[in-house]
Amino acid sequence: MNILFSPIGMTDPISTFHDGAMLHICRYYDIDKVYMYMSKEIAEFQKKDSRYTYCLEKLSQKMGKKIEYELIIREELENVHLFDPFIDEFRGIMRDIHTLCPDANIYLNVSSGTPGMKSALQVLAAFREFNYIPIQVATPEKKSNPHVEEKVNYNSDEQWECNEDNDEKINRCSVSSNVNFLNEIKKQMLSELIMKYDYVGAISLVDKMGDEVSEEFKELLKGAEKRSKLYYKDTYTIFKKYGYNEVLPFVQSDIAKITEYFLLTELRIKKGEYADFLRSITPLFVILFEKLLKDRYKFDINEYVKIDKKTKVRKWDRSLLKEKEELLHALDAKYANGGFRDESEVSSDNLLVIIEEMEKEDINFKNVCVDLRKVERKARNYAAHEVLPIDDVFIKKNTDFTAEEIILKISKVMNKTNISLPKDFLDSYDNMNGILVEALGIKA
């Protein structure tokens, strides 16, 4: 079904022996129903002689097709030069139309009515919720209408009989070129969302843009969103399809598990999500300390734990630790009040005890690990259990380090493992965003 929403202007329905915009769109776009939006002045003309509905009915007869219509009369509407009121009202009308006819093509007449009405419809077309098609209609003279006719004493029958469009068959309609400009605005909005790492928001906007963006961009954007949810294998598959094989710093599953989680933790700082940043560091510290112990100290904790069959949680086995007397002694000394027991869960705290015991050479590096555990102990618990406003000032006050300083300390620990971080490692998401923006057709 084809529906036309049309403000009615002073050149409707017929002017200078040619169709006005409303009538001309109906003539060439197989319109099934017209919603005519009328101000107080226009409604008075319709009430006087039914000129708008009369000419539409005559066109229906000529085309051999019934064109339904509905009048939306706003007799209180006098300040027709204003713009803002029309945005909200037109949006509401469009939603009502869509509810009644969800599969219809909705054409918008952006050539009739006041400048405020036309502009409002152009904006709605650009940021459409539904299938809007804005149509411009050129004047027969290819310039502004002269408005020479008598509008008060309007003879609808004479106007129809003298209407040259009934014989000329010249289509003066076109899809509004302003949409191309507004599409560029939407692309700029997409670019801003991407550079702010808001991939979910960008996908929501893309869903309303249809074919205005390429399928390649849509897939890459979905890949970025997958990465931000740690489905990095899907991300790699999607980007590799389009030749971007190095979008991830690491693709080996055992290393990517750590590096991608680290990058996601750092991303929360860039987005200002400091509470989420603090809450995310505990699992990061566990897997990072475990990797450090295995790579630097040749201590694989999986040889000294057992896995709970129900919860799948790893728990220390004291009988296996007995062969590491110094470590077991250090753990018992740390938890002298019985904190370290058989089947104690593996935690960053007891992993740190082992690191402190095994690190004999680099005191400064040992202190870096201690600092990270202090961050977790002091600030992370606040974020997890208290309702507090958390920002970088809070983190600095409670840990002695800013969020970026914490990230740098994590990087130092990472570099002590067998993972060699590239120089632009922390720029990985920004580099990916550059690929997205390029695929969108905007220079980053």
Per-residue tokens: 397: 């006050």
Task: Give the type of residue at 216.
Answer: E
CA end-to-end span of the chain? 41
How far apart (Å, rounded) are the C-alpha atoms in residues 143 and 265?
59
- For residues 360-383, give the mean pLDDT: 88
Per-residue tokens: 328: 């077991």
- Whether residue 310 contacts residue 404, with contact meaning beta carbons closer than 8 Å, is answered with no
Q: Is the pLDDT of residue 189 over 80?
A: yes
How far apart (Å, rounded) are the C-alpha atoms in residues 152 and 169?
29
Task: Place 381 in a pLDDT band, splitting at 50, 70 and 90.
Answer: low
Task: Place 79 in a pLDDT band, splitting at 50, 70 and 90.
Answer: low
Pick from 58, 79, 78: which is nearest to 69 by CA? 58
pLDDT digits (tens, 9 = 90+) for 98-156: 999 999 999 999 999 988 888 889 888 877 678 789 999 998 875 445 544 556 678 99
Higher pLDDT, 231 or 442: 231
How far apart (Å, rounded) are the C-alpha atoms in residues 97 and 6?
13
How far apart (Å, rounded) are the C-alpha atoms in residues 423 and 106?
52
Backbone phi, then psi, for 236, in 5-degree steps? -60, -45
List, in sequence order, every beta strand (DSSP E) within 24-176: 33-38, 68-73, 105-109, 132-137, 173-175
DSSP conformational letter for 319: H
Element (H, E) at 14: strand 14-15
In the chain, residues under CATH classification 3.40.50.10770 are 2-176
Task: Give the type of residue at 21.
Answer: A
pLDDT at 338: 65
Pick from 262, 241, 434: which is nearest to 249 by CA? 262
How far apart (Å, rounded) are the C-alpha atoms in residues 135 and 190?
25
* Contacts within 8 Å (CB) and 24+ apart, 400-404: 400/374, 401/371, 401/375, 403/269, 403/274, 403/277, 404/269
Q: Who contacts 138 (Cβ-Cβ below 8 Å, separation ≥6)?
A: 172, 174
The CATH class, in words, for 2-176 is: alpha beta
Per-residue tokens: 371: 């600092």
How far apart (Å, rounded) are the C-alpha atoms in residues 106 and 110?
12
pTM to 2 decimals?
Answer: 0.64
pLDDT digits (tens, 9 = 90+) for 410-422: 999 999 999 999 9
Q: Who contacts 155 (Cβ-Cβ below 8 Å, separation ≥6)?
A: none
pLDDT at 200: 96
pLDDT at 444: 43
- In terms of DSSP H, where are the helices of 30-135? 40-49, 51-63, 84-100, 115-126
